Amino acid sequence: MNREASKVAFEEAQNLIPGGVDSPVRAFKSVGGTPIFIARGEGAYLVDIDGNRYVDFVQSWGPLLFGHRDETIEKAVLDAVKNGLSFGAPTLAETELAKLVVSFFDSIEKVRFVSSGTEAVMSAIRLARGFTNRDDILKFTGCYHGHSDALLVEAGSGAATFGHPSSPGVPADFTKHTLLAEYNNIQSVKECFADSKDIACVIIEPIAGNMGLVPADKEFLHELRRICDENGTLLIFDEVMSGFRGSLHGAESITGVTPDIVTLGKVIGGGMPVGAFGARKEIMNMLSPDGPVYQAGTLSGNPVAMAAGYAALSKLKQNARVMTVLQERATRLVHGMRNAAKEQGITMQVDVRGSMFGFFFNEHEVKNFADACRSDTGLFAKFHSAMLDEGFYFACSLYETGFISTATTDEMIEATIAASERVFKAIKSGQ
């Protein structure tokens, strides 16, 4: 497969844009190749600037539940554009999208729109701190909540549950209120609560998608809810990725655990930049201008972005069965790949939630970030590169989740499994 134009484009981009990309994971660093430059999308396919076509299992890292260039969403955007790109004043589109979001989530009575998941989470945490009048927050190792300072934290060595900045440029002072616990490990949560009486909120991806796909155990979430209630701490479900992907009505609907605040993004914008956070009125009324907690945005609730989000969510509302169909397809995909691997003596761990799928080259079940880190990175890199040559575009890091869209057909799933059989065979014979 010739990817010469992409290689040249990447060279040039690197001279002008750090690493040649506007978001680091796009750079293919962990799989050792160079990124593919995209010319356009067509349903389930990506077409690169060399004219190669790939079945796209990234779908813009989640947002495109209906694939590229969905007719309804495209039309809604074009219609909105004709009325003007931005006003910085209220539009009906915001209320309409808010109605839809509230109708999907039992825990949300009011919602505010922002322009990215990072912004949604950052604002939700400020709101939780303002509401509880406390400073500390608790997050889980391996969960990603955007790139705001207080959340770029990694585990310290030893017993300390307070984290250290995971990036230069983040003062240690800014992360000293961030406690870290281990995903699916309730004991580690209890230790944090023993260390601090000042925890405003616990934030978690109830279906973690940023260490590969690692859903939280139901019992763990129930315990987490109980501990939060006992301590007057708010529970935030970060569903920027899993919202409208993992299930139709949020993780709360499949776990029975109700969060205090939910953050959303990705699918909610239908491919345009939208984030949101919502909660019951009592909490949301703390936000300015009603309350004292400040939060704002020039392009928040942008009419074009709202139109895309509204088109996507109303499509989902009208066709709720979509989620089941996608889940069946995603399951067939990962089971097929796992069987293909097994025939070559390779063990894969796989999981599916709605249209999200995950796989690890790992002998053992993956329950947390430490488990995920024990996966075979070399094998993943070989798999990724060979599948790309076969015309299948998977996320270029083993710590990412895969996505299918309504444009991903059964035939494409079968073709992917068949390609994986060839790829595993080649990998095995090449070793």
Ligand X SMILES: *Cc1c(COP(=O)(O)O)cnc(C)c1O
- Active-site residues: which are they? 144, 238, 266
Which residue is it, tokens 């798999």?
383
Amino acid at 292: P
Reading the block at residue 267, the tokens are: 């699918």
Residue 184 interacting with ligand X (CB under 6 A) = no
Percent helix, strand, coil in the chain, to 5, is 45, 20, 40
| 184 in Cβ contact with 216 (< 8 Å) | yes
Phi-psi region of 376 (alpha: psi -120 to 50; beta: other; left: phi over 0): beta
State whether residue 353 is helix, strand or coil.
Answer: strand
With 0-12 / 13-18 / 19 or more C-beta atoms within 10 angstroms meaning exposed / middle / buried, residue 385 is middle
Stretches 140-148, 161-169, 215-223, 308-316: which one binds ligand X (CB under 6 A)?
Answer: 140-148
Contacts with ligand X by CB under 6 A: the residue count is 15
Q: Give the residue closest to ligand X by C-beta.
A: 117
Alpha-carbon span 404 to 397, nearest angstrom: 17
Stretches 29-37, 99-107, 190-198, 204-212: which one binds ligand X (CB under 6 A)?
Answer: 204-212
Reading the block at residue 359, the tokens are: 């796989």
Residue number with CB closer to ligand X (19 or 291): 19
Distances (CA, A) of 230 to 107, 190, 201, 384: 19, 12, 12, 46
Residue 210 interacting with ligand X (CB under 6 A) = yes
CB 403 to ligand X: min, Å = 11
First to last CA, the chain: 23
Residue 117 interacting with ligand X (CB under 6 A) = yes
CB 199 to ligand X: min, Å = 20
Stretches 31-39, 117-125, 292-300, 421-429: which one binds ligand X (CB under 6 A)?
Answer: 117-125
Residue number with CB closer to ligand X (60 or 258): 60
Run of H or E residues at 350: strand 348-353
With 0-12 / 13-18 / 19 or more C-beta atoms within 10 angstroms meaning exposed / middle / buried, residue 206 is buried
Residue 252-291 contact track with ligand X, rule CB under 6 A, x = bound: -------------x---------x----------------
Residue 118 interacting with ligand X (CB under 6 A) = yes
Alpha-carbon span 155 to 162, nearest angstrom: 7
Q: Looking only at residues 142 through 181 of this chain, which bind ligand X when binding is defined by CB under 6 A?
A: 144-146
CB 86 to ligand X: min, Å = 19
Residue number with CB closer to ligand X (20 or 209): 209
Amino acid at 385: S
Run of H or E residues at 97: helix 92-104
Residue number with CB closer to ligand X (166 or 347): 166
Find the binder of ligand X among 59, 116, 184, 368 (CB under 6 A): 116
CB 116 to ligand X: min, Å = 4
| 294 in Cβ contact with 56 (< 8 Å) | no
CB 296 to ligand X: min, Å = 17
Stretches 44-52, 205-213, 311-319, 372-380: which one binds ligand X (CB under 6 A)?
Answer: 205-213
CB 58 to ligand X: min, Å = 12
CB 38 to ligand X: min, Å = 18
Residue 121 interacting with ligand X (CB under 6 A) = yes
User: In the complex, which residues of this chain contact ligand X (CB under 6 A)?
Assistant: 116-118, 121, 144-146, 205, 209-210, 238, 240-241, 265, 275
